[in-house]
């Protein structure tokens, strides 16, 4: 009798854990990609270049993201990778920048600032209001 | 101290709402003993069995008085399941089997061996899968113990009746705990050859150390198989007999009791009847629990014919079959013309009427006033009490005529009511019965079937109903065929009494015949020749 | 011999046609309407494949109550509601893809169990009238569901996603788009054989359900349900807890229906919050009956035959109607007409067939009884 109770309780706990795992890995996040000027902690990053952007290996938008523009990507799950490549005169130049980032389940909508990311700042990602 | 008795009942009494059905019953059964139980309808057999088998009906109606000691312990079962756990099995008169299941599945019903399963740890043992090889093995073992030829894979619905009975018995045997087996008329639905095998099986079971309480209306069976016989009458044990020291006549005597002689109110008027009004030839009726197996009978014009017999032997089937309420086969000749069987309306049209034993079910329109009830059948069948308009296209109830008719019968039959507009539901049982009679009388039938006219009504009302019938018979010369479980009632009113046993006529006796003679007929001891009265 | 004449049972060919009247009728309809519709075989097969993956799971959920003798469980509507509640919540939480579907199933399970338990208790009180009671209970629970979704959600149950709420700030919109999970189960592995799309994973899930049902029938509980379905009194006398067994059968059915609804809606891609579940009971029951099932006997094969026949008729009939009468709108009328018609016809046929069978059984039993009694009498005479 007691054994069954323990088994049942642990099964329910297991299912709840499964639910949480599903919640985390299935959570969709809206990622806004801003190629705009941004000032963080007194440092200003200015948008000067156009970029081609890949999020989790998928290209965002058909063309490069020009300065002053914004694009959007939807991602699922907690950990992601963003890749940037500068575009000049319609041709990709220079090395691509690859950056990993994590999103918590609470972050439904976040903004990634491309100039800050390109400049190597760690605070390129912040929550949208 | 070890008890040498398996079952001891000490002063067991039982009453239902003040109505005593068992009085101080003492019964002792040893392991491996076969006890025969004999008694008339209402003698208390079934109540006694229900007490032993722990039927919840007993518990719910206030339990019983006295002590029951089973296997050395005092018991008081609340449900049959408790009794099963304790080791009491029961083979019912009607099969408790699943027709669509094989013998194996039925034998192991709810005792199936299973193979364990991880899911059972989470849910219930019931998610274990059935262990078919083991099931088959156990079924074969149980069948093997009975030494009968029964195919474990055969579906019950495809089995002959006898094999169904073996399946039931095998199921009880399969329960290892079974120490006492109650068998309630296990042979009632079997042919004689099938019954013989069942008797052998009973002996075999007893030889395995299981005690058997055997109920049967076939005295021959009781005498062959039992170690001793208990006769019940009116809730009391009349006598315990040893088969070697008794005979059928003695048993019948204890069962029906001594004749009251002159005081009993038996109809002693000898009347002569010549003309045959109804001739029944080889009638078969398929009424569940009351089957009629090929009855031939002649009813004389103007007589009151009683039909008696034990419950379930088919006496009720005769009237129901002739009136077309249950499928019937055979020939019924009424005034020289053959009646169309299974066509109630036509039969009513010809001048036969029926007061059913099922008063509340088919006898009365409970939520309609008395006057409608009385006139209803006459209105439906004969088109009486209707006003015709437009050349009969529109028929209107003639309320005036209906009320007049009702008032007439209320007065004649002394029906106690406020007015003819009172609802039938509000009347007492006796008065409801009188309304049923009035309804039948309103048809002016030549032949009237009356079934169990006094069931469930008090003694005063009983006498009134019987007097009404007798009066109607004398006044109009209506032939009445009255079916009743109460022999004394039949003896007070009938000119002759036919006793039905196993769907056949066991014999016809005048009401003045000795009670024991009737008792013997009820127990299936056939009389030769039926000319007792017609001499 | 007169006796043997009466003993002869109904002609087996006739028996077959009576038993399978509904499926035969549908096959005839398809044979005529399919060529008339002018649809290409590949298109037709693709459509049927879609319906098969969409509906089968839901219809499979009807099987276990039939086993327990409770007839067609119109109460699956309540399972559908539970499934929809799960879907609305994951949509709000923005859980997408296969994890979203699984989470919706996980959430709907306890809700479906509670609904099923409740349904089971009510049906136990309405023994012998389970089907109509289940149907009415569905309507009643629809009221409670609407109360929950229309007033509760956004007020008591927090809903953050304003896009699925009505503009007044609480209550779910009439239609919710399931973009996040649309066909995500179907698309995990999708084979393309000669232009025919085969969603392998959904089919695997359906197969799993079939295996579950096959396994379940072999368990003690399955056997008990069969016993209860055959004869409640006998089951009770054998010590089976009849009420509990029946409740469990309804719970299983309701839970499976919740999953079935989720699979159904992920394929369609939108929820009609207040309508999607309503007709589910009728369509599922009608499809099963078209597959040759009856109120007391339904198999896995009936489910698949039923889905194929029922939906093929729906796919071809509007086109055939257009070719024939010039109006495709007839299709929708036709759909409703056929669905209710099939249910009414099957139930009437079932009742009629039962009566005939009972009468035949009775006659047979009586003949046997007569024969054995007569034999005995003759033997007795010969001795």
- pLDDT tens digits, A14-59: 999 999 999 999 999 999 998 888 888 788 888 888 888 999 988 8
Mean pLDDT of C22-46: 88
pLDDT value at position B213?
Answer: 93
Mean pLDDT of C139-168: 88
pLDDT value at position C380?
Answer: 57
Cβ contacts below 8 Å, chain A against chain B, sum to 7
Taking an 8 Å cut-off on Cβ atoms, the answer to whether B101 and C227 are in contact is yes
Taking an 8 Å cut-off on Cβ atoms, the answer to whether B98 and C368 are in contact is no
Which chain B residues touch A4 with a CB distance below 8 Å?
Answer: 121-122
Residues 6+ apart with CB under 8 A from C136: none
Taking an 8 Å cut-off on Cβ atoms, the answer to whether C99 and A19 are in contact is no
Q: Is the pLDDT of residue C355 over 70?
A: yes
Q: How far is A19 from chain C (nearest CA, A)?
A: 6
List chain B domain ranges: 1-87+177-257, 97-176, 262-351+447-452+479-535, 359-444
* Alpha-carbon span B48 to B291, nearest angstrom: 26
Cβ of residue B177 closer than 8 Å to a chain C Cβ: no
Nearest to B529 by CA among B502, B501, B504, B508: B508
| Closest residue to C106, CB basis, from A18, A28, A108 | A18
Cβ of residue B330 closer than 8 Å to a chain C Cβ: no
Given a contact cutoff of 8 angstroms between Cβ atoms, the answer to whether C108 and C82 are in contact is yes
Taking an 8 Å cut-off on Cβ atoms, the answer to whether C219 and B125 are in contact is no
- At B292, list the tokens: 């009629």
* Alpha-carbon span C79 to C84, nearest angstrom: 9
Of the spans B208-222, C8-22, C361-375, which averages the highest pLDDT? B208-222
pLDDT digits (tens, 9 = 90+) for B412-439: 888 888 888 888 888 888 888 888 888 8
Taking an 8 Å cut-off on Cβ atoms, the answer to whether C224 and B126 are in contact is yes
Given a contact cutoff of 8 angstroms between Cβ atoms, the answer to whether C104 and C87 are in contact is yes
- At A112, list the tokens: 């990634």
* Residue C188 DSSP class: S
Characterize the bridge pairing of strands C196-199 and C190-193: antiparallel
Say whether C153 sits in a helix, a strand or coil. Answer: strand
Given a contact cutoff of 8 angstroms between Cβ atoms, the answer to whether A97 and A118 are in contact is yes
Given a contact cutoff of 8 angstroms between Cβ atoms, the answer to whether A61 and A46 are in contact is no
Q: Is the pLDDT of residue B534 over 80?
A: no
Residues 84-143 of B with CB under 8 A from A: 121-122
Q: Is the pLDDT of residue C147 over 60?
A: yes
With CA atoms as reference, the chain C residue closest to A21 would be C99
pLDDT value at position C1?
Answer: 36
Characterize the bridge pairing of strands B447-451 and B394-397: unpaired
| B-contacting chains (≥3 CB pairs under 8 Å) | A, C
With CA atoms as reference, the chain B residue closest to A2 would be B121
Which chain C residues touch B284 with a CB distance below 8 Å?
Answer: 366, 370
The 3 state secondary structure assigned to B473-511 is HHHHCCEEEEECCCHHHHHHHCCEEEEEECCEEEEEECC
- At A7, list the tokens: 């088994």
Of the spans B320-324, B427-431, C28-32, C360-364, which averages the highest pLDDT? B320-324
pLDDT value at position B531?
Answer: 39
Q: How far is A31 from chain C (nearest CA, A)?
A: 13
* Residue-by-residue DSSP string for B80-133: HHHHHHHTEEEE-SS----TTSBHHHHHTTT---EE--THHHHS-GGGSEE-HH
pLDDT digits (tens, 9 = 90+) for B335-361: 989 999 888 889 988 889 999 888 777
Cβ contacts below 8 Å, chain B against chain C, sum to 72
| A-contacting chains (≥3 CB pairs under 8 Å) | B, C
| DSSP H or E stretch at residue B198 | helix B192-207
| Closest residue to B97, CB basis, from C219, C223, C234 | C234
pLDDT value at position C3?
Answer: 41
Which chain C residues touch B160 with a CB distance below 8 Å?
Answer: 368, 372
Mean pLDDT of B151-155: 91
Given a contact cutoff of 8 angstroms between Cβ atoms, the answer to whether B68 and B52 are in contact is yes
pLDDT digits (tens, 9 = 90+) for B6-28: 998 988 888 887 778 888 889 99
Q: Is the pLDDT of residue B535 over 60?
A: no
pLDDT digits (tens, 9 = 90+) for C187-209: 888 888 888 889 999 999 999 99
pLDDT value at position B263?
Answer: 58
- Same topology, domains B1-87+177-257 and B359-444? Answer is yes
Q: How far is A105 from chain C (nearest CA, A)?
A: 9
pLDDT digits (tens, 9 = 90+) for B159-183: 888 888 889 989 988 887 889 999 9
Tell me which CATH code domain A28-127 carries: 2.60.40
Asked if the interface predicted TM-score (ipTM) of this complex is over 0.90, the answer is: no
Tell me which CATH code domain B359-444 carries: 3.40.50.300
Q: How far is C2 from chain B (nearest CA, A)?
A: 13
Q: Is the pLDDT of residue B389 over 80?
A: no
Mean pLDDT of B203-218: 89
pLDDT value at position B126?
Answer: 86
Mean pLDDT of B364-379: 84
Taking an 8 Å cut-off on Cβ atoms, the answer to whether B122 and A11 are in contact is yes
* Alpha-carbon span C229 to B528, nearest angstrom: 49
Q: A61 to each of A35, A66, A97, how far by Cα in Å?
A: 13, 11, 18
Q: How far is B372 from chain C (nearest CA, A)?
A: 32
Which chain A residues touch B122 with a CB distance below 8 Å?
Answer: 4, 7-8, 11
Cβ of residue A18 closer than 8 Å to a chain C Cβ: yes
Q: Is the pLDDT of residue B139 over 90?
A: yes
Mean pLDDT of B281-307: 91
With CA atoms as reference, the chain B residue closest to A9 would be B122
Q: Is the pLDDT of residue B377 over 90?
A: no
pLDDT value at position C59?
Answer: 96
| Closest residue to A26, CB basis, from C96, C107, C160 | C96
Given a contact cutoff of 8 angstroms between Cβ atoms, the answer to whether B91 and B169 are in contact is yes
List chain A domain ranges: 28-127
Residues 6+ apart with CB under 8 A from B193: C376
pLDDT value at position B93?
Answer: 77
Q: How far is A2 from chain B (nearest CA, A)?
A: 11
Tell me which CATH code domain B262-351+447-452+479-535 carries: 3.40.50.300
Candidates A1, A2, A7, partner chain B, best to mutate (most B CBs within 10 A) = A7
Average pLDDT for chain C: 87
Q: What is the pTM of this model?
A: 0.84
Place of tokens 């474990």: B152
* Alpha-carbon span C101 to C87, nearest angstrom: 8
Q: How far is B390 from chain C (nearest CA, A)?
A: 38
Candidates C92, C98, C103, partner chain A, best to mutate (most A CBs within 10 A) = C103
Nearest to C123 by CA among C65, C166, C181: C65
pLDDT value at position C324?
Answer: 74
Tell me which CATH code domain B1-87+177-257 carries: 3.40.50.300
Cβ contacts below 8 Å, chain A against chain C, sum to 39
Q: Is the pLDDT of residue B529 over 70?
A: no
Check residues C227 and A106 and name the one with the higher pLDDT: C227
Buried-state track A51-76, b at ≥16 Cβ within 10 A, e below 16: bbbbbeeeebeeebbeeebebebebb
Q: Is the pLDDT of residue B528 over 50?
A: no
Q: How far is C227 from chain B (nearest CA, A)?
A: 7
Which residue segments constitute the domains of chain C, with CATH numbers given? 2-371 (1.10.3470)
């Amino acid at each position: 009798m007691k054994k069954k109770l323990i088994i049942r309780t642990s099964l329910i706990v297991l299912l709840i854990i499964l639910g949480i795992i599903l919640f985390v890995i299935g959570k969709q996040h809206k990622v806004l990609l801003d190629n705009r000027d941004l000032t963080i902690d007194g440092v200003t990053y200015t948008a000067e270049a156009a970029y081609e952007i890949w999020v989790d290996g998928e290209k965002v938008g058909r063309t490069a993201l020009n300065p002053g523009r914004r694009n959007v990507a939807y991602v699922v799950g907690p950990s992601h990778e963003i890749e940037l490549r500068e575009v000049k005169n319609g041709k990709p130049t220079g090395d691509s920048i690859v950056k990993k980032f994590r999103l918590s389940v609470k972050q439904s909508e976040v903004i990634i600032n491309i100039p800050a990311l390109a400049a190597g700042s760690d605070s390129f990602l912040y929550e949208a209001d | 101290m070890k008890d040498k008795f398996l079952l001891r009942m000490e002063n067991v009494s039982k009453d239902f709402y003040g109505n005593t059905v068992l009085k101080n019953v003492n019964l002792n059964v040893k392991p491996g003993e076969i006890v025969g139980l004999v008694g008339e309808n209402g003698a208390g057999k079934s109540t006694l069995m229900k007490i032993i088998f722990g039927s919840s009906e007993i518990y719910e109606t206030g339990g019983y008085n006295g002590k029951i000691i089973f296997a050395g312990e005092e018991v008081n079962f609340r449900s049959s399941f408790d009794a099963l756990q304790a080791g009491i099995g029961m083979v019912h008169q009607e099969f408790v089997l699943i027709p669509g299941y094989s013998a194996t599945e039925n034998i192991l019903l709810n005792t199936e061996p299973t193979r364990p399963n991880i899911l059972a740890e989470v849910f219930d043992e019931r998610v274990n899968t059935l262990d078919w090889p083991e099931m088959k093995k156990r079924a074969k073992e149980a069948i093997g113990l009975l030494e009968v030829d029964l195919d474990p894979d055969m579906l019950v619905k495809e089995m002959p009746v006898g094999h169904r009975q073996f399946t039931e018995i095998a199921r009880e045997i399969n329960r290892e705990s079974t120490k006492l087996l109650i068998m309630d008329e296990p042979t009632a639905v079997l042919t004689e050859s099938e019954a013989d095998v069942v008797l052998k099986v009973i002996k075999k079971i007893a030889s395995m150390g299981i005690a058997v309480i055997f109920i049967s209306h076939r005295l021959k069976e009781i005498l062959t198989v039992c170690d001793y016989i208990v006769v019940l009458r009116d809730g009391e044990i009349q006598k315990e007999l040893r088969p070697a020291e008794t005979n059928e006549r003695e048993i019948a005597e204890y069962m029906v009791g001594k004749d009251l002689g002159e005081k009993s109110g038996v109809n002693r008027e000898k009347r002569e009847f010549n003309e045959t009004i109804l001739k029944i030839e080889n009638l078969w009726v398929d009424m569940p629990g009351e089957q009629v197996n090929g009855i031939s009978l002649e009813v004389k014009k103007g007589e009151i014919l009683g039909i008696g017999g034990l419950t379930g032997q088919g006496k009720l089937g005769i009237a129901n079959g002739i009136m077309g309420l249950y499928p019937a086969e055979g020939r019924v000749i009424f005034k020289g013309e053959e009646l169309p069987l299974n066509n109630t309306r036509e039969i009513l049209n010809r001048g036969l009427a029926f007061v059913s034993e099922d008063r509340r079910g088919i006898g009365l329109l409970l939520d309609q006033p008395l006057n409608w009830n009385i006139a209803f059948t006459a209105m439906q069948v004969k088109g009486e009490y209707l006003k015709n308009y437009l050349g009969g296209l529109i028929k209107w109830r003639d309320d005036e005529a209906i009320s007049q008719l009702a008032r007439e019968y209320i007065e004649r039959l002394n029906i106690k009511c406020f007015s003819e507009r009172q609802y039938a539901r509000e009347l007492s049982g006796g008065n409801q019965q009188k309304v049923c009679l009035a309804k039948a009388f309103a048809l002016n039938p030549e032949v009237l079937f009356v079934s169990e006219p006094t069931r469930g009504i008090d003694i005063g009302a009983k006498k009134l109903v019987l007097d009404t019938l007798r009066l109607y018979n004398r006044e109009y010369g209506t032939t009445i065929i009255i079916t009743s479980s109460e022999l004394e009632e039949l003896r007070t009113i009938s000119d002759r009494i036919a006793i039905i046993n196993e769907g056949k006529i066991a014999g016809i006796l005048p009401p003045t015949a000795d009670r024991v003679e009737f008792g013997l007929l009820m127990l299936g001891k056939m009389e030769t020749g039926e000319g007792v009265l017609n001499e | 011999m007169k006796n043997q004449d009466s003993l002869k049972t109904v002609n087996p060919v006739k028996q077959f046609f009576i038993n399978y009247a509904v499926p035969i009728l549908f096959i005839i309809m398809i044979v005529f309407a399919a060529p008339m519709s002018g649809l290409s075989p590949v298109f037709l097969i693709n459509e049927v494949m879609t319906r098969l993956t969409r509906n089968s799971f839901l219809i499979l959920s009807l099987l276990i109550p039939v086993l327990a003798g409770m007839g067609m469980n119109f109460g699956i509507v309540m399972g559908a509601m539970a499934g929809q509640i799960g879907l609305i919540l994951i949509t709000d939480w923005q859980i997408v893809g296969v994890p979203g579907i699984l989470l919706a199933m996980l959430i709907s399970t306890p809700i479906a169990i509670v609904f099923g338990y409740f349904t089971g208790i009510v049906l136990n009180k309405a023994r012998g009238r389970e089907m109509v009671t289940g149907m009415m209970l569905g309507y009643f629970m629809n009221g409670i569901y609407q109360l929950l979704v229309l007033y509760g959600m956004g007020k008591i149950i927090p809903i953050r996603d304003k896009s699925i709420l009505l503009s007044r700030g609480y209550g779910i919109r009439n239609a919710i788009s399931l973009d996040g999970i649309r066909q995500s189960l179907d698309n995990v592995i999708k084979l393309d054989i000669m232009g025919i799309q085969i969603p392998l994973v959904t089919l695997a899930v359906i197969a799993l359900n079939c295996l579950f049902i096959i396994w379940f029938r072999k368990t003690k509980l399955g056997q008990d349900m069969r016993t209860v379905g055959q004869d409640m009194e006998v089951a009770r006398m054998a010590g089976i807890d009849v009420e509990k067994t029946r409740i469990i059968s309804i719970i299983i059915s309701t839970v499976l229906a919740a999953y079935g609804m989720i699979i159904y809606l992920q394929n369609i891609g939108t929820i009609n919050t207040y309508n999607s579940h309503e007709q589910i009971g009728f369509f599922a029951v009608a499809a099963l009956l078209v597959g040759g099932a009856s109120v007391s006997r339904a198999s896995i094969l009936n489910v698949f035959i039923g889905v194929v026949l029922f939906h093929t008729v729906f796919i071809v009939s509007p086109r055939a109607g257009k070719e024939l009468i010039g109006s495709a709108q007839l299709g929708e009328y036709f759909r409703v007409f056929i669905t209710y018609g099939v249910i009414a016809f099957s139930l009437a046929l079932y009742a009629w067939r039962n009566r005939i069978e009972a009468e035949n059984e009775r006659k047979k039993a009586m003949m046997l009884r007569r024969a054995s009694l007569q034999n005995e009498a003759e033997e007795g005479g010969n001795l």
